[in-house]
Amino acid sequence: MMLLSESARMILVAPPAYLDPGSGSFLLQLLLAGILGGAFIVRSQWTRIKAFFRRLFRRGSSSEEHEQ
Amino acid sequence: MSSNLRSGSSFRDPSGFLFARGGILYRQVNHSYRPTYDRLIDSGLYHELVDAGELIPHDVARVAPAEPRLASLVLQPERLTFVSYPYEWSFSQLKDAALLTLTLQKRAVARGLCLKDASAYNIQFHQGRPLLIDSLSFDVWKEGVPWVAYRQFCQHFLAPLALMARVDVRLGLMLRLYIDGLPLDLTGRLLPGSTRLQPGLLTHVHLHAASQRRFAGTAPASHTSARMSRNALLGLIDSLESTVRGLTWSPGGTDWADYESTHNYSPAALEHKRHLVAGYLAKVRPSLTWDLGANVGTFSRLAAEAGSATIAFDVDPSAVELHYRRCRSEGESRVLPLLLDLTNPSPAQGWDHAERLSLAERGPADAVMALALVHHLAIANNVPLALLAETFAGYGRALIVEFVPKSDPQVQRLLASREDIFPDYTVEGFERAFRSTHRIRSEDKIEDTDRILFWMEKR
């Protein structure tokens, strides 16, 4: 309930737009917000994510070498 | 006191409007928009965009506003040579305009603003590049709120590009029917089913249309508690950008794209024609030329080299596309290729027929070129020569026109499948028809052909 009123408040205080954004177009963005935001983070952090896994694998393979 | 002429296309946005006075175009900024305008300037966004050639530069004008009661400021934007409309653009022109709109939105968000509209009509081609012409298109961005112009972007850009790329390039002309962009439900029905397997088109066209149907007439706040984070907004722009980039179309299959390589001029004839046209242009010295039936722009280039801004019209989407790509890759900023069917040119339309100007209303040019064109209009389309002369006289002062006689193989080809009902289609008939509207200044036979070039001036 808290969240709902927060959301309603956000939309009510939005700058007065002369363009009708359309309810369906507005809601589709809100419904997809999580996926879109997640995809953006993954994409913008992609080099760091790759580097993290590379390090992880390297560490894994070097520890295997130690075990031998 | 000089009178103000308020632009017929500038009434939707209460932030301000365009008006003309003494032949100069101004933009009034209303009090209600002044804080946002100041933010555009103070945030550095205006200078960033102008430096990048993405927004039209303006000066603050020290002139009386058109509506003093509302006015806070009057701007004088840099003058455009010619206003063109999305239904006159080739595929790549519309795609470049779409990508520019998304770039503008990204740059705006980075500085705490956003685009409050995404109308394709706010983009114009200026000195060879697309740019935003409406300096009042920005708003202060508030985290949590979805992009107000998302629907407009999809209707004005994504839908026509998808139809052009995935169904038929000629569907871009549907923009002429729907002034606020193509309805997404209609677009979804026209697209092949396989587009539902592409995440971008699935989301922004098919699901978007379904969402519009499902939530029509309801208030967004009653359905969800979700907010649009900054990352979500940037993710949306990213997704739209990769969807637009993924849409491609390459010319081929339409009538004339290979015209340049297959037309029936000998090298000597072509050289002579070039020489004659360049000679006329040197005498006319136009600052604006309309090249009608420009194909891929061989002769438009001559007008540009003579120092004229040149609008190169052609009816064939492939030719316009090839011409635009060529201008873009060679940095030819003086020529603007556009799609136009002269037998049914762009009409005046929108509210009160005043939002989008007809072709004739956007003239006249200093010079009109109609090379290897008259036979297509007079024989393939039955336009009487006298009507042709009148229309050309309306389009511009000087006329460089080529008469292609019946003995020419191109005309023979047009007459092969139909009865010859054109007894007046002779050089004498042509001159007679044009003498009522024009003065013939020069008349030269093109070497190696039966064709005749004329330089005429409107009476």
Q: Kindly report, residue by residue over B256-285, the tens digit of the pLDDT.
A: 556 565 566 889 999 999 999 999 999 999
Say which of A3, A10, A36 has its CB closest to residue B232.
Answer: A36
Which of A12, A28, A37 is nearest residue B207 as measured by Cβ atoms?
A28
The per-residue pLDDT for A48 is 85
- CA-nearest residue to A2 within chain B is B225
Give B-chain residues touching A35 at CB under 8 angstroms.
Answer: 235
Are the beta carbons of A40 and B234 separated by less than 8 Å? yes
How many of the other CB atoms lie within 10 Å of CB of B322?
Answer: 24
pLDDT at A66: 52
Residue to mutate among B36, B137, B234, B243, with most A CBs inside 10 A, is B234
pLDDT for the residue A58: 82
Give the pLDDT of residue A46. Answer: 85
Cα–Cα–Cα angle for B64, B30, B13, rounded to 5 degrees: 125
For a pLDDT cut of 90, what percent of chain A falls above it?
29
| DSSP-assigned letter for residue B205 | I
User: Rounded to whole angstroms, how far apart are CA atoms B453 and B443?
Assistant: 6
What is the structure's pLDDT at A67?
Answer: 46
- Whether residue B203 lies within 8 A of chain A, CB to CB, comes out as yes
CA distance B369 to B101: 33
pTM over 0.90: yes
* Residues of chain B positioned with their CB less than 8 A from the CB of A13: 142
Residue A68: the pLDDT is: 42
C-alpha pair distances (Å), B380 with each of B265, B377, B385, B415, B429: 21, 6, 13, 8, 17
Confidence of residue A2 (pLDDT cuts 50, 70, 90): very low
Nearest CA in chain A to B155: A25
Residue the block writes with tokens 């006075």: B21
**pLDDT digits 0-9 by tens, B100-126:** 999 999 999 999 999 999 999 999 999
A30 part of contact set with chain B, CB < 8 Å: yes
pLDDT given at position B219: 80
Nearest to B214 among A17, A24, A43 (CB): A24
* Min Cα–Cα distance to chain B from A16, Å: 9
Q: Which parts of chain B register pLDDT below 70?
A: 1-2, 221-223, 253-264
Which residue in B142, B152, B122, B177 sits closest to B10, CA to CA?
B122
- Say yes or no for a CB contact (<8 Å) between B203 and A32: yes
The Cα–Cα gap between B179 and B157 comes to: 12
SS3 B4: coil
Instruction: Write down the mean pLDDT value for chain A.
Output: 73
Q: Is B242 on the interface with A (CB under 8 A)?
A: no
Sign of CA dihedral B354, B360, B366, B367: positive
Nearest CA among B448, B442, B449 for reference residue B401: B442
- Spatial neighbors of A65 by CB under 8 A, at least 6 apart, are none
Confidence of residue A11 (pLDDT cuts 50, 70, 90): very low
Residue A13 is predicted with a pLDDT of 39
Percentage of chain A beyond pLDDT 70 is: 62
Provide the token pair at B23. Answer: 């032949």
Confidence of residue A63 (pLDDT cuts 50, 70, 90): low
* Contact between A29 and B147 using a beta-carbon 8 Å cutoff: yes
Q: What is the C-alpha to C-alpha distance for residues B81 and B127, in angstroms, rounded to an integer?
A: 9
Inter-residue long-range contacts of B331-334, CB under 8 Å, 24+ positions, other chains counted = B331/B128, B332/B128, B332/B301, B332/B304, B333/B127, B333/B128, B333/B129, B334/B127, B334/B128, B334/B304, B334/B308, B334/B309, B334/B310
Euclidean distance between CA atoms B187 and B189, whole angstroms: 5
Helices B91-110 and B317-330 pack at an angle, to 10 degrees, of: 50
